[in-house]
Structure 1
Amino acid sequence: MRSLLALFCALGVSHAGSVMTLLAIPWFVLQTTGSGAQTGAVTATETVGLLASSLLSGPVIDRFGARGMSVVADLAAAIAVGAIPFAFTTVGMSLPLLAALAGLAGLTRAPGDTAKRVLLPGAVRVARTSLERGSGIADAVIRAGRTFGAPLAGLLITVVGAPGVLLLDATTFLVAAVLVGGFVVVRNDPTPIRSGYFGRLAEGFRYVRKDRLILAMICTVTVMNALDAGLSTVLQPAFAAELHSSVVLGELMGVFGLGAAAGSVLYGWFGSQWCRWTTFAGCAVLAGAPRFALLWMGPAVPVLLIGFFLFGLAAGSLNPLLLTVEYDRVPAHLRARVIGASEAGVLAMMPVGALVAGVLLDRIGLPATLLAFAGVYAVTTLCPVAFRVWRQMDERLPVPAPAPVPV
């Protein structure tokens, strides 16, 4: 149980640090340069690093082991993030150096996050609990870290400034490295060397293409997250602007996040007793299109808040359920590659969702854009109902692991 608790703490701390970094680095650039173009360039560099490492780090994690890679990635993240305020106060900060450090910070985040997720099944086995419970609590912890990390960063920026927040960010990654390195005792054996790096990367993509359920999950979640990104970054702020209240925007995000965390905990506690297919299909339908439809109807704020809490409650089951299915179906030596491919798809399409939402908002207005997004979301979330491949979610397949090699 100690390993599982330490892993939960590391997940929460590292994701809180990641969210703080996402806010603090752009603020630091804007504060020190006053240039929106330079801020955008540095932020884009960090995002490109995050996307590239999500897609390409899987074979490295599978080859050298998730525990060691988690520690190394968190230590590298601490160095990259901590070097920004250190260089600023000592030798000065040029744009190329700042972009390089931001890109390095992005490169280190995905391997650390993916490695911790790969460690979860082993920690669950050691703790003698169910995958549903472990995945549910892990997702709740991640959501809590993200939910509290953002407002904490905003508060601390006003108190100690962006450089101080970046130093705190670096500390969170150090804490995560210590937790995993010192307390998570899970044997995830490295993958035997059967081919080179690109061969192992291709093996992961071949598996995704062969497993129709995993492929359907990745495609569906990618579209859902693109639509969610358009809602959270463009459409909800536009709705709040029409009400002339930024408070409403914060309240909508807050109650949805609170509901999602509660939903993750509920799934963790009771999910092993539920039918996966019906749970996913029902929760996806409830958490998707109705959000856009409710904003389109524009009811009183209390009704909006109650609705968004319930939508979050339904959404909270989705991530841990999908992760549990991946753990059940994907061979242990391919998990990092499959999880990384899934994360890369989501990350790549989120800016597209925000861009499409912005273009439609300017062209056809907020009400029509909300209805358009609701329609696409409804079609997407009805796919698990319409296609029989999704019923394989409830199949517990034998997942042979490769023979261990010496470490």
Structure 2
Amino acid sequence: MLQILYLAQDLADPAVRRRTLTLVSGGASVTLAGFRRGANPLAAVHGVEPIELGTTADGRFAQRLGAVAGACVSLKNRLRDVRKPDVIIARNLEMLAVAKRAVALFGGEVPIVYECLDIHRLMLRKDLIGRALRAAEAQLGRNARWLVTSSPAFIEHYFRPLSGIDAPPVLLENKVLDIDGASEGPAPPAEPPLPGAPWKIGWFGALRCRKSLALLADFSRRMEGRFEVVLRGRPAYSEFEDFDGFVRGEPFIRFEGAYRNPEDLAGIYGDVHFTWAIDFFEEGQNSAWLLPNRLYEGCRHGRVPIAMKGTETARFLSVRGIGLVLEEPDADSLATLLGPMTPESYAEAAGRINRCSAGTWVFDRGDCEALVRRLAALAHETPCRIPSAAITEPRHNEGGLL
């Protein structure tokens, strides 16, 4: 059985849980180790007891650097009962440093996979700080065997032109994990609201965008109850002045708390009509390049996504002829887009989504097993460098695995 040491920057992150489930479902034995940023019992994986390397704080970069340094010093003791892994996966830059230390402790020759699903704004700065961080990434990832990322735009706009990472890229889209075959066939048809009931926009996942919250509040007030906004997930409280107070003060917005991914997806998406697939958190950079989890989740359940013009998400929707695209980031534009919605136009938009193959949205057990087989092959390969010109262009790959 393939032994994987998975190093995570936030053990409470639902995406870490999903990746761990992916690897376990594919037949790997996973040791999960990482930092704790907050409590989230819904992030637990049955049978996997994480090794905590310390505590970090969201948005406090200097504190995180100190925590990483401390973890590297104490790593030998924390991993004393861990069997030598066949592969180490390091999620995000700080875990690359921990991975390098772990390789040294295990005697070398353990391949490292660098998993980077977001490009932090600090990495894109043109000043000394940005250059120093990119240099650190290049040095720490110099011997990485794979670069795993979730959007072709990350490769196009960051990893090829700016990053010093030259590992072959592997595109793993943020698809819905379906290890039990529950997602076979089309989703139940999305129904418009009953007469007099509101249309509902679902904004689920990492809630970190003040601009989105303000826009949706403005829009929902203008529509005077014709539209409601349902929030689910983990608010990044450091990014809001008073998230809970703001939501309580909005008559047409409600926050319904955290959820399990993938177990609760059918229920929460079944309660809405549209998916808010827009993020202005790092506008023009990471937010323009990402393909968010909720894009795949909402479409898998037949809900109509709303994307922002000029983003990778809008390009993704345009290629497939689905979804709605917001022209301007304001309530007036959103009212123009959604205000004329009728049951007939909604049924037509939802129908186009259901005509897409399930594989566009779903990562099933067979995909999990294929990924673990590729990781097993990587563990037995002789390290080599693939020239960047030979790397397959990810935009032409529909299957999600390069």
The TM-score, its normalising length taken from structure 2, stands at 0.29
Structure possessing the higher relative contact order (Cα contacts under 8 Å, 6 or more residues apart)? 1
Flag the structure with higher helix content.
1
The TM-score, its normalising length taken from structure 1, stands at 0.28
